Chain A
Amino acid sequence: MARSNKPIVWGLFAAGGTVTAFFVPALMVVLGLAVPFGLLSPNDLSFDRVYGIVAHPLGRLILFGFITVSLWHAAHRTRTTVHDLGISNDGITMFICYGVAGLGTVLAAVFLLLL
Chain B
Amino acid sequence: MTNPPYIRPIPASWWLRQGRYVRYMIREATCLFIGLHALVLLVGVYRLSQGRDAFDAFLAALWSPAGQVMGAVIVLMAVVHSVTWFNLTPKAMPLWIGDRKVPGWIIVGGHYGGWIVVSAVVLFLAGGLS
Residues of A within 8 A of B (CB): 14, 16-18, 20-36, 39-45, 47, 49-51, 54-55, 63, 66-67, 70-71, 73-75, 77-78, 80-81, 84-88, 104, 107-108, 111-112, 114-115
- State A84–B29 Cα separation when bound (angstroms): 12
What does the 1/0 interface line of B91-121 toward A look like (CB < 8 Å)? 0100000000000000000010011001100
**Known contacts A18-B85, A32-B62, A67-B38; A111/B45 CB under 8 A:** yes
Q: Is the CB of A40 within 8 A of B126?
A: yes
Q: List 18 A-B contacts (CB under 8 A).
A: A25-B75, A26-B118, A26-B123, A27-B37, A31-B62, A32-B68, A40-B130, A47-B55, A47-B56, A74-B34, A75-B35, A78-B31, A78-B35, A81-B25, A81-B28, A84-B28, A85-B15, A111-B46
The chain A residue sitting closest to B83, CB to CB, is: A21
Which of A34, A75, A108 has a CB less than 8 Å from the CB of B45? A108
**Known contacts A21-B82, A24-B78, A25-B75; A112/B34 CB under 8 A:** no
Q: Is the CB of A31 within 8 A of B71?
A: yes
Residues of B within 8 A of A (CB): 7, 10-12, 14-15, 25, 28-29, 31-32, 34-35, 37-42, 44-46, 48-49, 51-52, 55-56, 59, 62-63, 67-68, 70-72, 74-75, 78-79, 81-82, 85-86, 92, 111, 114-115, 118-119, 122-123, 126-130
Q: Is the CB of B34 within 8 A of A70?
A: yes
The chain A residue sitting closest to B63, CB to CB, is: A36
Which residues of chain A come closer than 8 Å to B122, judged between CB atoms?
23, 26-27, 30
Query: A32-B74, A40-B127, A111-B49 known; 8 other A-B pairs, CB under 8 Å?
Result: A28-B37, A28-B78, A32-B40, A32-B62, A50-B55, A51-B55, A63-B45, A108-B42
Q: Is the CB of B42 within 8 A of A111?
A: yes
Which residues of chain A come closer than 8 Å to B81, judged between CB atoms?
17, 20-21, 24
The chain A residue sitting closest to B64, CB to CB, is: A36
- From residue B39, how far is it (CB to closest CB) to chain A in Å? 7
- State A14–B88 Cα separation when bound (angstroms): 12
Which residues of chain B come closer than 8 Å to A25, judged between CB atoms?
75, 78-79, 82, 119
- State A9–B12 Cα separation when bound (angstroms): 26
- State A111–B32 Cα separation when bound (angstroms): 22
- From residue B64, how far is it (CB to closest CB) to chain A in Å? 9
